[in-house]
Amino acid sequence: MLFRSYLGANSDFHRALAQAAKNPFLWRSVQPLIEITEHQLAREVTKETVHAHRIYLVNMHKRILDAIANHDKEHIVEIMSDHFRSSEAVFLKET
């Protein structure tokens, strides 16, 4: 249950960010990436990995939202870079 909830919440978060940007190109670009990522996570990432990292990932998403709310572009870039690196380190090491 937690695993499926995580996958759904993760996808919803990324879809909401793309839609909030009100940029049709971004939305069309992000949508396939979200679908691929969702499929990969469901197929390759263990429930134990999600359980072990869920708090970190939720906090990372909160930091992204806070930076957006504060219109802090430099911080957004920094956080997004951290998010990509940490996601790759956590999830792609299992493939």
Is 59 or 38 the better-scoring residue by pLDDT? 59
Band (63; pLDDT cuts 50, 70, 90): very high
Question: HSE on the CB side for 80, CA within 13 Å?
Answer: 11
Q: pLDDT value at position 95? A: 46
**Dist. CA 12–CA 50, nearest whole Å:** 16
Average pLDDT over residues 43-64: 81
Buried residues in 80-90 as b, exposed as e (16+ CB within 10 A): eeeeeeebeeb
Amino acid letter at 36? Answer: I
